[in-house]
Structure 1
Amino acid sequence: MQTGKLPVLLFCSLVMLGCGQQKKNSDPERPNIVIIMADDMGYSDIGCYGGEIHTPNLDHLAAEGIRFTQFYNCARCCPTRASLMTGMYQHRVGLARNGQNLSQEVPTLAEVLQENGYSTGMAGKWHLSRTQAVRPASEQLKWMAHQVDYGPFAPPETYPSSRGFEEHWGVIWGVVNYFDPFSLVHNQEPITEVPADFYITDFITDKSVELIDRFSGKEKPFFLYVAHTAPHWPLHALPEDLERYQGAYEGGWEKLRTDRYSRQLEMGLLDTVHYLLPENSSGKTWAECEEKETEANHMEAHAAMVDRLDQGVGRIIRKLEEKGELDNTLILFLADNGASYERGYPPGFDRPGFTRDGTPIDYEPAEPGPETTWGYLGSAWASAANTPWRYWKKESFEGGIHTPLVVCWPGGLKGKEGTLNHGVGHVMDILPTCLQVAGIDYPDVFRGNQLSRPDGKSMIPLINGEVSATSDTLYWEHEGGRAIRIGNWKIAALEGGPWELFDLSKDRTEVHDLSGIYPERVSKMNAAWEEWAVQMGVLERE
């Protein structure tokens, strides 16, 4: 149901829309919404969060908008995407683990917006459908190399085009060859051939720009979800992007981490009192590294992939400007989890062993980048990419669950340009926020099912400075990693490991474990986490 009411205190500047050259849709107080998600990107990779990678377009959005310093995701690809799409903890909607179907009993953000008059489109990675390999394994490898056809890549009723998106150009599975991707579709139709110069990051940008062109011609607002695969492994990058970073990482991961930390301090993102810089979580040192050139080449490829993503963001911004839509478009940029520690996975399941023409793929490349290589970033570089936090993707420590969040809305965030917001938010807050700015109530019923309210809360009070957190208590669990944050106190644990306790008001980077000093606090917080875990189906009630 559309309420037609907007948060007036923050968005009073909307009354000025249309006074200049910007085009108006039929209801100028209902903004277009563009969500751009990076995949396995480190917290400090982009320039406006301390990175040396060339990201002028994301930096521009930050200069014109808000950077959040305490925004959380769900530590892994599918869980975060499920939470983004539904406003719920991922466990409630079928995605406690990767590779499952998103619940059909809860609406997606696209479905709610579409029902209330928005055009809806998506370009990129879905990864919210059950992905199941065929047998034997040799046939799965052929399927991924486009040498055989085993039909739909997942249940078609779970594809984006069945979950509220009028148009979807992208991939259903989570891992792809960037030059010839498996599970590439237009809506429910497989795209079986790609041109020789195909590169999926550019494809996602191309289709995003096309959708803006198409939707801008309609007399209603639009929602566009741009879900990049970059910079998730494999480390596939274009030669011209690789060239820009040649030699950039010869100093190693320790130097990268301290350099980024210094820039974060200069930017005011951090301070030296509350954000001590922990050692690299991998325990590896550059001095002891025996393959320095090869390792540096891997980080160069990662940087090149982020660079190309940013180039695409620039094209999207320019298209919005060209169509007169930029002022009334709310843009959010974030990542699904921290940089990936993963390395060493052999061919199988979602990793091809050879290309379409049968050329073998090298899984231990000295120079990753081309289609015939399959490189991984690895834990040491991941720890540097996640500066200043500990750990990485999958874990419930800050390095796994922290994401940059840039929010830009030129016509709706007047006076907020270039600001930092230190409030606490979560990816599940994005759905309620988008609905509030669109003047839409969350539905009571969906497909005959009575709905409970989303777990997430609108970020408007956080943006207005009325609250310091959207929720007083946040919970995490993924593959045994777990955490709970209550106010500024947090406990976190690795899979099978003990709880560590941190006072985030004094120790944002989780350097000082206080569990031995305050065992009663740990016990109370553990009890709260276990109660939540029972509700989520993670634990059984005793």
Structure 2
Amino acid sequence: MRRNAGAIAGAAVLLSILLLVGVHAQPVADAPAGRKAPNVVFILADDVGFGDLGVYGGKVPTPNLDRLARQGMRFTDAHSPAALCAPSRFSLLTGSHPYRNGRAGGSWDVDTSSGFSHNGDRTRAGRHITVGEILQNAGYRTAFFGKMHLGGDVYDGNGELIREKNKLNTMDYSRGFGDGLDEHGFDYWLGLASGIQHEPYAYFENGKFVPVDPDNPADNSSTRLLTDGFYRVSDNGLSEIVEAAKVPARGDVDYDSSQAGIRLTNAAVDFIDRHVEENEASGKDHPFLVYFASQAIHVPHSPPFDYDGDPSTVDEQVYGKTGAMTSDVLYELDLQVGKIMAKLEEEGIADDTLIFFTSDNGALWPRITHYGDPAHDNNGPLRDYKASVYEGGHRVPFIAKWGDGTEAGSVIPPDTVSDQLIMGQDWVATMYELTRQDVQDDQAMDSVSLLPVLTGRQAESGPLREFALYQGGNAYEGAIREGSLVLVVDNKEGARELYDLETDLGQEKNLIDLPEYRDTVARLHRKFLTYNDHDNETVEPRTTRPFRVD
């Protein structure tokens, strides 16, 4: 059910939205009510679980995210596209399930081609349009900051394309890498191609290597070999990749994972600064998209702190704030959100910015986490964790805000909770509807617009989605959800388990052998195979109807 302090008239709000958007690189006219087409900020956390945030019952302080939820809408039944990060990240940028490009397991590192260009052995033609391109078509300036895990093209010293992981340390940094986000809808990007956990341990800007020390040359002389193994954090909090590696990895000579969040957040804030200045100088009012993919809270857990007094490094005392590394980096994530929100408020554009927050998969496994508060349960009542096909692997926080946090000044009613079943990639179709662009039949194939829910046009009693597909850590293990029933399908396409989440959220009672569910199991199994067959030879139909401008 939908719960809030008071509802806005959905029809009036929707009319304002339809009037305030324009397409194809034109400044957007104000709506009669004075509200402009919003800037958009999409914040993607890494490994944040359903029970991690304070507003979802977590014990670690997350005041900025809690405020974001109080000023907007919080979803209780939102799911990442997959239970692991790389496949989810492809879907969150395209609106299509990971298997749509013939690479269900995702495009992890830069020894793999870009997932946007790759179609595997599937018969569908063309490439995958990103949400950046969608908003560019509507006149937005677009920028990406953070962890990618989207593949790309890198080269060795002879100019040969590298397609083997154990050869990444031969990468010629002066060549940067191609088929990056600047070729897929983003005017600007700064990121870590494989996050803080895999090489190359270096920052790239629009495909070019940018050393941490700006006085260093952007070539191999500014890199060093690291021992690439499991993650360990030294006593002073700095991350070194030091254990049991067979092949050394290469990174920036000044690489320090404790600095990653600071650098990326500051870059996002600087982009907003520059954007506002450029608008003022040109006399125009282009909106922007900031896609912020935080490194937090993925391992290695190396929260920033003021450790050396060196003015060339940007230090913040996060280490030790909560009593444990894992909760420190969760606290750091909240600070990142707070910095971005503060910049929007400082520039006077917070009320005209649509903000989304979600996570790429479910909570971290307890065996590699330790929270400062022993009462903290990072997955609440859910079964299992990251990489699992069960709810704990993919049910995640999802928050949306648009307005000043008051009923009169908000498009999304503040302090609202929705129990609608949604998927993280649904924000992509939302951007199509927001900017009044038709969805092509072979794009955003598994995304449905959230605007009807966000504006109150869609009643809570009417489901937004007929069904949803989930993908586990094994790329070919999945589940289909219809209503409150979830059928788990194993990696050999066999129906394995059936649960009723309405009465069994913890998924403890398998109903699959009960006679009264026999027909339901058969029907759901057929439906799953219709939309997600593993034969890799045919094009599965859309799972959602494409948005069309009336």
TM-score (norm 1): 0.71
Distance, in Å, in 2 between the alignment partners of 1:453 and 1:228 is: 23
Please report how far the alpha carbon of residue 167 of structure 1 lies from its aligned counterpart in structure 2 after TM superposition. Answer: 0.9
- Contact kept in structure 2, 1:39 and 1:336, CA below 8 Å: yes
Specify which of 290, 298, 318 is matched with residue 241 of structure 1.
318
Q: Rate the CA distance shift 1:208–1:402 in 2: closer, same or farther, 3 A.
A: same
In the TM superposition, residue 489 of structure 1 has moved relative to its aligned partner by 1.3
Question: Could you say if the C-alpha distance between residues 196 and 453 of structure 1 is closer, same or farther in structure 2, counting changes exceeding 3 Å?
Answer: closer
Q: 1:442 aligns with which of 421, 438, 449?
A: 438
Q: What is the distance in 2 between the residues matched to 1:540 and 1:113?
A: 27
Q: Deviations over 1:205-237 (max 9, x none)?
A: 101101111122322100100001111111212
Alignment of 1:208-223 (within 5 A): 208-217=268-277, 218=279, 219-223=285-289
In the TM superposition, 1:91-106 aligns within 5 A as: 91-98=99-106, 99=108, 100=112, 101-104=114-117, 105-106=127-128
Separation of aligned partners in 2, 1:204 and 1:326: 20
Given the alignment of the two structures, is residue 377 of structure 1 paired with residue 369 of structure 2, yes or no?
A: yes
- Over 3 Å counting, the alpha-carbon distance change for 1:511 and 1:32 in structure 2 is same
1:352 alignment counterpart: none
Distance 2:391 2:433 in 1: 28
Distance in 1, Cα, partners of 2:327 & 2:463: 32
Q: Which has the higher strand share?
A: 2
Pairing partner for 2:450 from 443, 459, 483: 459
Q: Which residue does 1:475 correspond to in 2? A: 469
Which residue identity does 1:212 align to in structure 2? I
Counterpart AA for 2:183: S
Q: Secondary structure at the match of 2:142?
A: strand
The code of the aligned residue for 2:290 comes to L
Q: Select 2:68's aligned residue among 61, 68, 72.
A: 61
Equivalent position amino acid for 1:377 in 2? T
| Inter-partner Cα distance in structure 2 for 1:136 and 1:8 | 53
SS of the aligned residue for 1:58 comes to helix
Tell whether 2:67 aligns with 1:71.
Answer: no
Q: Flag structure 1 segments of 5+ consecutive residues without an equivalent.
A: 1-6, 18-23, 247-299, 344-375, 445-449
Matched ranges for 1:92-491 at <5 A? 92-98=100-106, 99=108, 100=112, 101-104=114-117, 105-130=127-152, 137=166, 140=168, 143=169, 149-151=171-173, 156-157=178-179, 159-176=180-197, 182-194=201-213, 199-217=259-277, 218=279, 219-239=285-305, 240-246=317-323, 300-341=324-365, 376-377=368-369, 384-410=377-403, 413-414=410-411, 416-437=413-434, 439-442=435-438, 444=440, 451-452=442-443, 454-463=445-454, 464=456, 465-466=458-459, 468-478=462-472, 479=474, 480-491=476-487
Change (3 A) 1:451 1:529: closer
CA contact (8 A) 1:391 1:400 kept: yes
Q: CA deviation at 1:106?
A: 1.9
Aligned partners of 1:15 and 1:433: how far apart in 2? 13
In structure 2, relative to structure 1, the CA distance for the partners of 1:414 and 1:117 (3 Å cut) is closer
Aligned CA RMSD, in angstroms, stands at 3.4
Pair 1:525-2:524 in alignment: yes
For 1:383 and 1:53, the matched residues in 2 are separated by 7
Q: Show the counterpart of 1:365.
A: none
> After superposition, what is the alpha-carbon deviation per residue over 1:79-115, rounded to whole angstroms, capped at 9, x for unaligned?
2111111111121134411325223312100011112
- State whether residues 453 and 459 of structure 2, in contact with CA within 8 Å, keep that contact through their aligned partners in structure 1: yes
Contact 2:78–2:397 (CA under 8 A) maintained in structure 1: yes
Distance change in 2, residues 1:162/1:539 (3 Å): closer
Distance 1:155 1:193, change over 3 A: closer
- The unaligned stretches of length 5 or more in structure 2 are 1-9, 21-26, 118-126, 155-161, 214-253, 280-284, 306-316, 541-550
Equivalenced residues, count? 427
> 1:414, CA displacement in angstroms?
4.6
Shift of 1:470: 2.5
Q: Answer whether contact 2:141 2:289 (CA < 8 A) is retained.
A: yes
Which structure shows the higher helix fraction? 1
The Cα of 1:509 is off from its aligned counterpart by: 2.7
* Change in 2 beyond 3 A, CA 1:230/1:321: same
Q: In the superposition, relative to structure 1, how do residues 83 and 477 fare at CA in structure 2: closer, same or farther (>3 Å)?
A: same
In the superposition, relative to structure 1, how do residues 203 and 382 fare at CA in structure 2: closer, same or farther (>3 Å)? Answer: farther
